[in-house]
C-alpha cells in the first residue's frame, strides 16, 4: 500500500539536494507532502511562529510517515523539533535520510554530515539511511514502508529524567530560609519591643 509522506528539510542550505530526492521518481504513490513548505517558506515565516506551525500542521494532514532529510544543519533548524514532535503525536512512522553526500549543483561536492535530529531530541529506535550510500533511489519505498510498520518510537527523554537516571531523584530547590537554618540552626523569634524595654528598665525587687 502506498504511503503519504511528509518530508522535512533545511530549505536554504539543502534545496538542491532535496530536489534530487524530489525528482527521483521514487515510487508510485509516495506523496511529497512536505515539499510544498519550501516554496511557501519565505512568505509564511514573515507572518510569525503561529503561521509556520499552521503550515506544518497542514502539511502533515493525511500523511502516515514523516521523513527528515538530514543535511549539515537540519538538526539545528528552528522548526524541525516541532515537525518531529507533531509527527510523533499523530502516530506517523519516522525515518531519517542523510542527504549530505549528494553533490551540490554550485560547489559540485558533498557537504559535511550533520547530527541525527532524532537523537538530539531524545528519541530512540528511529532508523536513518544515507541517500547515496544506501541507494535511496531504489530503496526509499522500502524505507518508508519499514518506518510505517516499525513499533512506535520511544517518547523523548527529558533533561530531568536523564539527570534522575544518573543521580537519583533530585531534591527540591533549597530556599533561603532553609539554607540559613541548615547553616546556623533554627532562628529565634524576634523579641517584641515591649519585652525589651521591660527588661531594660524594670526595677529589681
C-alpha grid cell, residue 203? 526595677
Contacts of 79-84 spanning 24+ positions with Cβ under 8 A? 79/52, 79/53, 80/8, 80/10, 80/117, 81/117, 81/121, 82/53, 82/56, 83/6, 83/8, 83/56, 84/8, 84/117, 84/118, 84/121, 84/123
The pLDDT, as a whole number, for residue 90 is 92
Domains of the chain in sequence order = 4-149 (3.40.50.450), 159-201 (no CATH)
Partners of 188 in the beta sheet? Answer: none
- Rounded CA-CA distance 148/194 in Å is 79
| Cβ contact 69:118 at 8 Å | no
Place of cell 542550505: 13
| Cβ contact 21:69 at 8 Å | yes
pLDDT in tens, 126-179: 999 999 999 998 898 899 899 999 877 666 655 555 556 566 665 555 565 665
pLDDT in tens, 191-203: 666 666 666 666 5
Using the predicted structure, report yes or no on whether residue 181 has a pLDDT greater than 70: no
Amino acid at each position: 500500500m502506498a504511503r503519504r509522506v511528509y518530508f522535512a528539510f533545511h530549505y536554504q542550505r539543502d534545496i538542491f539536494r532535496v530536489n534530487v530526492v524530489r525528482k527521483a521518481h521514487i515510487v508510485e504513490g509516495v506523496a511529497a507532502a512536505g515539499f510544498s513548505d519550501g516554496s511557501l517558506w519565505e512568505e509564511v515565516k514573515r507572518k510569525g511562529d503561529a503561521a509556520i506551525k499552521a503550515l506544518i500542521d497542514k502539511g502533515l494532514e493525511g500523511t502516515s510517515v514523516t521523513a527528515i532529510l538530514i543535511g549539515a544543519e537540519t538538526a539545528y533548524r528552528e522548526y524541525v523539533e516541532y515537525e518531529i514532535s507533531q509527527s510523533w503525536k499523530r502516530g506517523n512512522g519516522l525515518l531519517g535520510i542523510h542527504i549530505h553526500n549528494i553533490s551540490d549543483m554550485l560547489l559540485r561536492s558533498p557537504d559535511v554530515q550533520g547530527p541525527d535530529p532524532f537523537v538530539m531530541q531524545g528519541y530512540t529506535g528511529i532508523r536513518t539511511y544515507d541517500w547515496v550510500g544506501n541507494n535511496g533511489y531504489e530503496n526509499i519505498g522500502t524505507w518508508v514502508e519499514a518506518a510505517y510498520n516499525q513499533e512506535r518510537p520511544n517518547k523523548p527523554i527529558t533533561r530531568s529524567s536523564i539527570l534522575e537516571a544518573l543521580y537519583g531523584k533530585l531534591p527540591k530547590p533549597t530556599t533561603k530560609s532553609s539554607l540559613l537554618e541548615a547553616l546556623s540552626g533554627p532562628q529565634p523569634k524576634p523579641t517584641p519591643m515591649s519585652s525589651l524595654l521591660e527588661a531594660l528598665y524594670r526595677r529589681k525587687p
